[in-house]
A and B are shown apart, each in its own frame.
Chain A
Amino acid sequence: MSGRRIVITSGKGGVGKTTTTANLGAALAKRGHKVILVDTDIGLRNLDLVLGVEKRIVFDLVEVVEGRCQLRQALIRDKRFESLSLLPAAQTREKEAVSEAQMARVVEDLGALADFVIIDCPAGIEHGFRSAIAGAREAIVVTTPEVSAIRDADRVVGKLTAAGLPLRLIVNRVRPEMVKSGDMMTVEDVCEILQSELLGVIPDDEEIIDTTNRGEPVVLDETSRLALIFDKIARRLDGEIVPFTNFNAPTLFGRLFTLWKAG
């Protein structure tokens, strides 16, 4: 039996791929799934930092590929979530150290060990992107409601579609007050422009900066609203139908209007 192999990608950097990978992975693990996260950003690894396991790295992806250690030896188990592990990227090597075929092989092998293999893709659409998607069977595209992020996401959607990977969208860093004032595109706008199905909406929340500083996935704190949101995304990924949170909670008038329109 082989687990699901999902790549998290975006085109543009800094839109939240790594944070999403860490938290979605943790949320899935919390729900009892066996999850392995793969950092493919060779040379600029960060998933270890976000998970707070940077001090425990012994072996990395490149060493696995070069046969200098066993795959299982390179996996770092998260102390907070027993069923969550990380395969870290190498920091002092080049992306070309791992070919597309080698990456596909590693991801396939990991698939035999877990329910979910989640691959954190580097920014850009160069070699690192191509190898990150090589072993995946489905994709999550992370974007923010900003012009440049959407344009880059569009490029990536095109490439994923051409590669035959089904994909869904996570819109990150939504600022409800800016959407309300018309200064930010709505989630609907983003989905419409990218012609893609929505998997999740994550509001811009300063909590994430704080938790990343400390290397603790926000999912750990069950009272936080982000934990709830990542749990919802994990459930959707799991096949459940979960309604989307409406961050622009409608006013009474708005709600009446919607009712009236629906009627």
Chain B
Amino acid sequence: MQAFESSAAEIDLEPVAAPAPPLGRAIVITSGKGGVGKTTTTANVGAALAAAGKRVVLVDADVGLRNLDIVLGLESRVKYHLLDVLEEKVTLDEALVRDKRSENLYLLAAAQTREKEDVVTAQMKALIERLRERFEFVLIDCPAGIEMGFKNAVAGAGHAIVVCTPEVSAVRDADRVVGLLPGDWRPELIINRLRPHLVRKGKMLSVEDVNAILRLPLLGVIADEPGVIIATNKGEPLALDAASETGAAYRAIAAKLAGEEVAAPAVKASPGGGFLSRLGTLFGGRS
């Protein structure tokens, strides 16, 4: 059953690829530090872009520790992966998994039982180029760290989103990563897992604190909430949940990326919380 679905998907890809419109944007989502929410961000921003009608492919560059498939709930449909394509064992169409919820969203999974060193940077670059011919957005989920996997993930991209949490170690690592990105890029920042009540008590860095150090254009702020864990448990990105405020924040980020003029995410994280919406308006003017 699933096999039929995915082969149907392969067929309907072809005509779209034919007209060859301008190349899409390849954006790497990176952070240096692990566990700050790169994969969740990739999945949600991708899902939101697709829901807004953009053609999107998400590339999991975390060879050996893939997780984008789980976060999207597509793990049972992954048959082939990035390295299969790079090594020409299967065609790109065979390896692309179409999202079950959106016609516009595709996943190219990473190999799980291989090593990051198996990826040849030049081939990765060429692959991203091919994807850009067919998709408006190519979002690349970068592995943690700054080793080979990071280099390969960045290779084909033309833009970066840096995900950072308001914690000293995450900010330090983000700063390091920004320094390793090509000098002519202007990476954008997503601050993730903000706990407004802790900021208020002075126990957590504020958005301003973080960005006083990183000084990057702010793309969005996402609050820490249990809903994110629940969504990952289920494999359903929050961006598709119309009732979720976090989902709304992701949709706002997607709209911004797509070039729309949007007010910065007016997240309300806590019941009391005019705090984040205040932050929202603060940063709305700046970016």
Asked if A and B form a direct contact in the complex, defined as CB atoms under 8 angstroms apart, the reply is: yes
A interface list, Cβ under 8 A from B: 11-15, 18, 43-44, 46, 49-50, 91, 94-95, 122-128, 146-149, 151-152, 155, 175, 178, 183-185, 206, 209-210, 212-213
Once the chains are docked, how many angstroms separate the CA of A23 from the CA of B112?
32
Interface residues of B in 196-229 (CB under 8 A from A): 198, 203-205, 226, 229
Q: Which residues of B contact A122 (CB under 8 A)?
A: 145
Answer yes or no: B127 CB below 8 A from chain A CBs. Answer: no
* Among B34, B170, B205, residue most surrounded by chain A Cβ atoms (within 10 Å): B34
A54 to B80: give the CA distance in the assembly, Å: 45
| Contacts from B to A (Cβ < 8 Å) | 32-36, 39, 64-65, 67, 70-71, 112, 115-117, 143-149, 165, 167-170, 172-173, 176, 195, 198, 203-205, 226, 229-230, 232-233
Given contacts A123-B35, A212-B167, A213-B204, contact A148 B147 (CB under 8 A): no
Q: How far is the CB of A76 from the nearest CB of chain B, in Å?
A: 17
From B112, B165, B176, contact of A44 by CB (8 A): B176
CB-CB < 8 A to A18: which residues of B? Answer: 169
**Which among A15, A155, A210 is the interface contact of B64 at CB below 8 angstroms?**
A155
Q: Which of A11, A14, A213 is the one whose CB lies under 8 Å from B205?
A: A213
User: Which of A43, A128, A149 has the most B CB atoms < 10 Å from its CB?
Assistant: A43
Chain B residues in 8 Å Cβ range of A123: 33-35, 144-145
Contact A125 B65 (CB under 8 A): yes
The smallest C-beta distance from A198 to any residue of chain B, in angstroms, reads 21
B147 adjacent to A95 (CB under 8 Å):
yes
Nearest residue, chain B, Cβ from A153: B65
- In the complex, the answer to whether B149 meets A126 with C-beta atoms within 8 Å is yes
Q: Which residues of A contact B198 (CB under 8 A)?
A: 206, 209-210
Known contacts A175-B226, A213-B203; A43/B146 CB under 8 A: yes
16 contacts between A and B (CB under 8 A): A14-B33, A44-B172, A50-B169, A95-B147, A123-B33, A126-B145, A147-B67, A148-B71, A149-B35, A178-B226, A183-B230, A210-B198, A210-B203, A210-B204, A213-B168, A213-B204
